């Protein structure tokens, strides 16, 4: 299916690995031009180098960074059609999960909201004028199934992502009539560096459960989170949904929250 993305200009945050890298690869394959934002590049992003890709090294905890990324897209490619706010999860230097509401400090809460909510607010604020000059656009905010599934774990992260859901709905109402569609994608646990890297979630849970990292990802985490499919989500599965949502083929989809969560969220 042709997603009609050829020639479109996209900004993807958190683009050097995981979901962001999969989104960047998919959009490039569909003919879009991509400005990829991340603190540093990586082997996967370097492999995609070409005329249609620009990497902008930024720390999105810097309030000025989202605006610089959008400005670079306009400078390099003449405008902006697509914004994928994928960057999120543990702020730099933070390890999750935290197992109690009492664990994060005030500073932890501030950092979590800066990275997972305020950076999105700033990116959208910068992107909307550029999109309006093109007659519209599409924004996808990557949230989490945990935004709708309260639990005594990662409470600060879950709260920030819940705010992202509300933000997306509000943006879709205000800017939908002006041609800007805003949707949310809520992954479940995805097999990304958050889980797989040394000291990541799998190692932390393994230490609690008295097992090893691979066993956590292959069986303990799917069982603990009651995943219907019995496995963690693959990043490409999330990227495929995002690519469809930013496509003109989804022209009547706005204000939606799409779960790609292996059956994590059970409520009706």
Catalytic machinery residues: 157
Q: Using CA atoms, how far apart are residues 3 and 102, in angstroms rounded to an integer?
A: 46
Which letter does DSSP use for residue 220 in this model? I
Structural contact between residues 245 and 185, judged by C-beta atoms closer than 8 angstroms: yes
Contact assessment for residue 180 and residue 142, using Cβ atoms and an 8 Å cutoff: no
User: Is 183 within 8 Å of 140 (Cβ atoms)?
Assistant: yes
Measured in residues, the chain has a length of: 268
Torsion angle of C-alpha atoms 233, 168, 147, 91, degrees rounded to 10: 80
Task: Confirm if 181 and 187 have CB atoms less than 8 A apart.
Answer: no
Return the structure tokens found at 67.
């605006």
């Amino acid at each position: 299916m042709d997603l009609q993305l050829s020639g479109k200009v996209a900004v993807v945050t958190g683009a050097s690995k995981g979901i962001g890298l999969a989104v960047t690869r998919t959009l490039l394959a569909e003919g879009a031009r991509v400005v990829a934002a991340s603190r540093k590049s990586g082997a996967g992003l370097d492999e995609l180098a070409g005329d249609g890709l620009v990497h902008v090294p930024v720390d999105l905890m810097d309030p000025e960074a989202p605006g610089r990324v959008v400005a670079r897209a306009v400078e390099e490619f003449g405008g902006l059609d697509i914004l994928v706010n994928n960057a999120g999860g543990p702020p730099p230097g933070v390890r999750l999960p935290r197992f109690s509401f009492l664990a994060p400090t005030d500073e932890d809460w501030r950092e979590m909201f800066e990275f997972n909510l305020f950076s999105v607010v700033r990116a959208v604020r910068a992107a909307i004028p550029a999109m309006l000059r093109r007659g519209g656009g599409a924004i996808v905010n990557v949230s989490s199934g945990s935004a709708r599934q309260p639990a005594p774990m990662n409470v600060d992260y879950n709260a920030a992502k819940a705010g992202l859901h509300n933000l997306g709905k509000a943006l879709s109402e205000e800017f939908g009539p002006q041609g800007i569609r805003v949707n949310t994608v809520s992954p479940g646990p995805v097999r990304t560096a958050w889980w797989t890297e040394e000291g990541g979630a799998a190692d932390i849970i393994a230490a609690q459960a008295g097992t090893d990292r691979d066993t956590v990802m292959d069986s303990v985490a799917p069982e603990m989170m009651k995943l219907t499919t019995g496995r963690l989500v693959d990043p490409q599965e999330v990227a495929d949904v995002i690519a469809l949502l930013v496509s003109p083929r989804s022209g009547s989809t706005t204000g939606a929250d799409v779960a790609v969560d292996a059956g994590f969220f059970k409520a009706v």
